[in-house]
A and B are shown apart, each in its own frame.
Chain A
Amino acid sequence: MSSLTLVRETVAAALRGTPETRPQRDDVTAAGLRAELADLVFAAGATIEHPLVLRSSSLRSDVQLAGASAFARLRGLYVTAALRLIVNGCVPQNPFVELTSAFERLGTDSELVALVDQLSGDDRARLEAELRSHVSVLSRELGTIAPSWRPRTMVRSTVLVAGGALELRDQVDLMVGTHAASVASLALLDVTTSPLGPEAERVMRYHALVSTLRTGSLPLRTAMLSSATGERWTIDVTPELLQRAVADIAAHSTMAVAA
């Protein structure tokens, strides 16, 4: 039975939970989920030549709408980079200025820097102010993440199902714990700059499903934090939750094929 928590505690505490009550590692559910997805791919008519590619953003209409806005994209990228700094114990005082300077020095995000250059003076000032607010919420809500919990940021996954006819791509903003322990201990966190809505649960389930398929074992819990409102949802991962994630993909693939 999955539980939806709306209690206020730091994200670190919520992700860790009570170590003594963690369930045994489940290594058997993944194979069944993979088979179900393979059936689903066959029914949807996707092939290796024309694969169905899904991302967590595919399940969120707010991101799809925001995709058109360079401003929202920029804000998301800066907040994700700020999260990496906070996890490292380096909270930026002026995230916009400090991160822009870092991106320029690293020379790897030329597209992002070009987008910043295209912003009007008003938009730059608004982005700077918004980033201060988002980073302040993040650093307050995250709490201290101990290095011994193995925190990894911006963890990418690409899971192929049915020989590559279905490709599930994902990026988890923060992952703590390990999938190799005898008890479930891997926790996933997605940070969004939007307020949490009905689609947030779908995204959380998607992260849990991709992690399960990738590692072969169930993660402990999946969480989502809004850096706009400070609201956080945490769900324990169970086989039922993953079944719902498969159903989400089924609904999406039916729509994608119909379109």
Chain B
Amino acid sequence: MSALWHRRCTATDIADLIALAPAGDRLDGEHREAFAARLRSLPTMEPRRLDAWTVEHGGHAGRGFAWSPTTARRSIGTLAFARRLPSWTAQNAVRDEMSDQLANFARGYSRLGSLGHWLAGLDTVALSLVESEAVNWALQLLDVAELLGGGATLATTDGYYHVAGAQTTVRARRDFTVTGPEGRVVLRIRSGRPGKSAGPGLRADLVADALATPDGQAARRFIGLWPEAGLALAVDGTMENLRAGARDLVRAAVVQRRERLTKAA
């Protein structure tokens, strides 16, 4: 039975979810090879990226990525939060981060389509609207960090695992990690409220995170926080959940391939 834990997003509930997490299982070379073989059997002409979002949307392609205040807020807000010092304010840190992005563009370090490139094309008012969204995200991270206490570490990057020979990259979204002697618990923050596919999404993140870890050790528990709904869902790092997550990622790749073939025909 692969349980999906459902709790309120309060300090006590999250502390319980972290403290009572069981030991996580480990993916070995055979597991990695089996996963890669399944993806290699689904050839693709272009690079393929699989993540929890793909699984939650049943593998159906969205409208494609485009920068907007909403898509930029996590990148800017997280890097701004990483600058946290005793006199830190979200507003100043976000401004510093955006200034750095613009400076990189001015020096010619930003490639076409990057965040810095997009920001450089905006006027002062549009930049201020982007800043507002990023400040909201940075402050949400601060709220969660306070909820978790001192033991949590900000994850400044997501986890990525490239499946050799399958042109596929698997991404694990993560925002905080709580590491203890018995292993780690990973937390990720999402907007809105959890939908019906939130559980499969968490399992996809769990397996992607384990794959992205060199020794294949799964997190003891993978917790999804939806602060806007005041809810937390979690899955344990068991082999059953890892298998379910891997199956969902492969299914998403199958749907993606079918859609691309239909489009090409």
Chain A positions within 8 Å of B, measured between CB atoms, are 27, 81, 84-85, 87-88, 90, 92, 98-99, 101-102, 105-108, 147-148, 150-160, 178-180, 213-216
Interface size grouping (class) on chain B? 35 or more
Q: Please, how many angstroms separate the alpha-carbon atoms of A156 and B192 in the complex? A: 8
Residue of A with least CB distance to B130: A106
Whether A106 and B69, one on each chain, are in contact in the complex, defined by CB atoms closer than 8 angstroms, is: yes
Whether A216 and B10, one on each chain, are in contact in the complex, defined by CB atoms closer than 8 angstroms, is: yes
| Top-4 shortest CB links A-B | A147-B89, A214-B230, A102-B126, A147-B91
Whether B229 and A158, one on each chain, are in contact in the complex, defined by CB atoms closer than 8 angstroms, is: yes
Interface residues in B179-222 (C-beta closer than 8 Å to A): 191-193
- Asked if B129 CB lies within 8 Å of chain A CBs, one says yes
- Asked if B167 CB lies within 8 Å of chain A CBs, one says no
Min CB gap A82→B, angstroms? 10
Chain B positions within 8 Å of A, measured between CB atoms, are 8-11, 66, 68-70, 89-92, 121-126, 128-132, 135-136, 139-140, 142-143, 146-147, 191-193, 227-231
Contact with A213, one of B70, B131, B135, B230 (Cβ below 8 angstroms): B230
Q: Please, how many angstroms separate the alpha-carbon atoms of A152 and B139 in the complex? A: 8
Min CB gap A192→B, angstroms? 19
Q: Is the interface of A mostly helix, strand, loop or mixed?
A: mixed
Q: Please, how many angstroms separate the alpha-carbon atoms of A81 and B132 in the complex? A: 10
Q: Please, how many angstroms separate the alpha-carbon atoms of A148 and B125 in the complex? A: 22
Whether A160 and B124, one on each chain, are in contact in the complex, defined by CB atoms closer than 8 angstroms, is: no
Whether B132 and A180, one on each chain, are in contact in the complex, defined by CB atoms closer than 8 angstroms, is: no
Whether B8 and A180, one on each chain, are in contact in the complex, defined by CB atoms closer than 8 angstroms, is: no
Most buried by A among B69, B124, B125, B230: B125
With A108-B68, A152-B140 already in contact, 4 other A-B pairs whose C-beta atoms are closer than 8 Å: A101-B125, A152-B139, A153-B136, A158-B193
Q: Please, how many angstroms separate the alpha-carbon atoms of A108 and B11 in the complex? A: 35
Q: Please, how many angstroms separate the alpha-carbon atoms of A67 and B231 in the complex? A: 31
Residue of A with least CB distance to B10: A216
Q: Please, how many angstroms separate the alpha-carbon atoms of A85 and B92 in the complex? A: 15
